[in-house]
Amino acid sequence: MFTKHRGEFYLVMGAIVFSFNGVISTIVLDHISPFRLAQVRSVCAFLILGAITFAVDRNSLRATKKQLPVLAVYGVIGFAVVQAGYFLGIQRGVPLSLVLLIEFTAPIWIVLWIKYVRKAFVPRSMWLAIGLSLLGLFLLAQVWQGLTFDALGLFGAFISALALTTYFLLGKKFGTTRSSQSLTVWGLGMAALAWSIAMPLWQFPFEVFTIEMDLKGIFAGSTLPGWALLLWIVVMGTIIPYLFVISGLRLLSESTASVIGMSEPVLAGIFAWIWLEQGWNAIQLFGAVIVLAGIYIADRARSVPA
């Protein structure tokens, strides 16, 4: 059973770890800018995973001259731009719920690419799965409440959706020729390089590592040093989930993988409810059920990649 559904297991585990990391990131973002947080994630995760991979299997890191430009695009867009667009939307005052909804339109763009660019077969049930999942996210996010239509913020969210689309498409392409670990190292490395050029490391606010940060919610009053929470974000919120997702992409189609990724907002809401005591109403619960139904249909569809 595990062998048969290993791809789904990897993707769900990736979504779980990514979602829990959202709670930890909420705590840290009170003390550091979103873009600096994205930078420290990429740079530190690259250094740690890169060193391990180089020591254990350095041959897997080799790349041809022909592969380098594509790997650069994969890392900068699939790792750095996804986070940059997401954080830009939040910074410009667009509600997190709306940013997530726009970002998770990625499955639509993936299916359109597969059908009209690759000219490959897409089951009708996949369209139903995407529609249900987006409807569920719409209800879960309740985007009709207090929207702020900042043009630049919405543009950032839309860019994040297209970057996420690129991440799934290129991740699937490389997943057949490279190991999950080496592909993650390349992605993080290119993202780290891009962030370091955009924001010089010598200007980094290093005092964030020694700040005692309140854990909020049910742990309000308890604190941990910044370095401990940042270490969690780097290892458990970046390295581990990316390895899970890329491993899943090696076994499933891009469209199926991206729809399963829609479970992330649902899981993030569950963790926020437990830790930060952010409750759900009946509409949100119904939306979560619809998202899960869409994911189930998508997994059954298994569109055939070209």
* pLDDT score recorded for residue 152: 85
* pLDDT score recorded for residue 171: 82
pLDDT digits (tens, 9 = 90+) for 234-258: 999 999 998 898 888 888 877 788 8
CA distances from 201 to 31, 36, 90, 94, 205 (A): 17, 10, 24, 29, 9
Backbone angles phi, psi at 293, to 5 degrees: -65, -40
Residues in Cβ contact with 50 at an 8 Å cutoff, skipping those fewer than 6 apart: 61, 185, 188, 189
DSSP 188: H
CA distances from 23 to 17, 64, 180, 216, 265 (A): 11, 39, 26, 10, 12
Q: How many whole angstroms from its chain centre is CA 130? A: 18
123's tokens: 């089951």
Nearest C-alpha neighbor of 255 from the set 305, 181, 187, 191: 305
Ranges in the chain, pLDDT < 50: 303-306
* pLDDT score recorded for residue 306: 41
- Residue 199, beta-bridge partner list: none
